A and B are shown apart, each in its own frame.
Chain A
Amino acid sequence: MLRLLKETQTSLARKLQLGAAVIFAALLLLVYLYTAFVLRHDPTLTDLGIRLQGPSLNHPLGTDHLGRDVLTRLMLGGQQTIGYSLLALAAALLIGTAAGMVAGYRGGWLDRVFMRIADGFLAFPDMIVVIVLSGLLGPGLHSMIIAIVMVKWVSYARVVRTTVITESKQDYMLAARTNGLSPARMLTRHLLPHIAGQVLVLASLDLGKVILLISSLSYIGLGVQPPTPEWGAMLNDSRPYFQLAPELMLFPGLAIVLVVLCFTVLGDAIRDLYDVKKEVRG
């Protein structure tokens, strides 16, 4: 009885977590849409006369060291951070899935070359590789996205490759060949549905990490460049004023934490959805 109660409580807590994450994600979407169509202040227009002001009706979260509206920059920064994270993740997902499918299906030298490249990337922590690549390619948005894609595609490709190798040995693939199906058709119609679930779960769990990566790169000056608003860059800009106006660092920091938390909870929920073993254990 106690166990059942505990399980119910756990389940209820998970549901509450998930509910909060979904509501927060919906709120983010609304903010995103609002920012796209309605803006009261120019996010890049400086006005030194009103710098470092506290919250007011006109500036609900105050102004920064150059007199720009913090709320406007926070909302636009969210667009940048989440938007570029999704873009980098989607590019890594597409490249990784395609590479993993081809390497796993073709095998032979192509697979061996792929594995060595993957081993090379996986030998170092993501952050180090991204910093080195961003540094080599030069600071800026494009370099940052390319660096993130170059690091992230490997993990997707490895998962996809493993699944393709396993599934290619199944009889339904042999049956598809005996029906005259081309490799491209077999990969897209018969194998992709097997892969899609796993890869999407991995991507949803990765989104939080990519947001942190983009913010971190902007924070150290290798990502989005001023005056474009971005959460990591906002943190960096506010650093000298931490003692004078700590809320300037608090708002973007809090935004990063909440968004990463929200996407991690959503990712966990999606993973649970595809976890058949959990049902059996339950």
Chain B
Amino acid sequence: MLQFDEITIRNRSRVLVDRVSMNVLPGEWHALVGQSGSGKSLLSRSAGLLLPPNLSAEGSIRLGDTELTGMNRRSIRQVLGRRLAYIFQDYQAAFAPFRTIGQHFSEAIALHDKEHLKEARTRTAIALESVGLEGSLAGRYPFQLSGGQLQRASIALALLFTPDVLIADEVTTALDSVSGHRVLSLLNRLRLDTGCSILFITHDWRHVRRHTDRIAVMKEGRIVEAGGTHRVLDHPRHDYTRQLIAAAPVLTRLPSGLQEVGG
């Protein structure tokens, strides 16, 4: 569904992502893991042609039958939000502070589905209700919502047009573990309902183990290991993958049945 083929991203002085190939299949939950600065976010942003102006990308990125690389600005705007959607870590800053939640939804509908602009209110309410929020929240400003509500609203907005692929860039990093689990369970339900694929960028191995179908591990701009979640987690082949798994906090059971955080 979303296919990266020999993608290289560089600035003037060095290569940041080096000939990376990866394929996110239809309907699957694909994790991209690696330490900070390994090039995960750059790779994901290159799909939407969202790289900063000082970076250039080579290679091919296809969304279904559509070649994304080399698209002009007008064409990529038709894809973004409609077929390829993003949600980010800082959900509190993801909404413009001077616009209501409903205005953000109406703006997206006006852009991608002008014919149904009259139904924007109803659609917004339905979208908000699909993530467990009240439709009346549409009239509120971002600062009037809690962090959890904003995160849910951003997911509802991202999935408004049932995109083919949703890129979730460290969406649980700023959340506590319970909230993170709730958000990912919600994403999983919506993925099953809509059939969209999820490219999930994360540091958290607990979420990877629980939710994802396949994993790609990135190190210094290259994918060093990729495969099914259980194969990579249980039988890692690359030293770096083993180090990452070993460095992740795990929960171990005590004889009493209580759990203890261990190294």
A residues with CB within 8 A of B: 107-108, 170-172, 174-182, 185, 189-190, 193-194
Contacts and interface: CB of A to CB of B under 8 A. Distances in A.
Contacts of A176: 96
B93 A170 contact: yes
A182 B72 CA distance: 12
B119 interface: no
B99 A189 contact: yes
B259 to A, nearest CB: 35
Contact of B111 (A171, A172, A180, A190): A180
Contact of A178 (B85, B98, B107): B85
Contacts of A171: 88, 90, 93-94
A175 B86 CA distance: 8
B102 interface: no
Given A108-B53, A189-B107, A180 B77 contact: yes
Contacts of B66: none
Interface residues of B, number: 28
Contacts of A178: 48, 50, 80-81, 85-86
A194 B98 CA distance: 8
B96 A180 contact: no
Interface string B149-171: 00000100100000000000000
Contacts of A190: 96, 98-99
Given A172-B97, A190-B99, A194-B98, A177 B80 contact: yes
B93 A172 contact: yes
A276 B262 CA distance: 46
B108 interface: yes
A175 to B, nearest CB: 4
B107 A179 contact: yes
Nearest to A196: B98
B205 interface: no
Given A177-B80, A180-B82, A172 B112 contact: no
Contacts of A177: 48, 50, 80
A174 B90 CA distance: 11
A180 B53 contact: no
Contacts of B108: 179-180
Nearest to B154: A175
B78 interface: yes
Contacts of B98: 190, 193-194
Interface in B69-120: 76-82, 85-86, 88, 90, 93-99, 104, 107-108, 111-112
Nearest to A171: B93
B86 A180 contact: no
A179 B76 CA distance: 10
Contacts of A108: 53
20 contacts: A107-B53, A108-B53, A171-B93, A171-B94, A172-B96, A172-B97, A174-B50, A175-B86, A175-B94, A178-B48, A178-B86, A179-B108, A180-B79, A180-B112, A181-B111, A185-B107, A189-B96, A190-B96, A193-B96, A193-B98
A176 B107 CA distance: 10
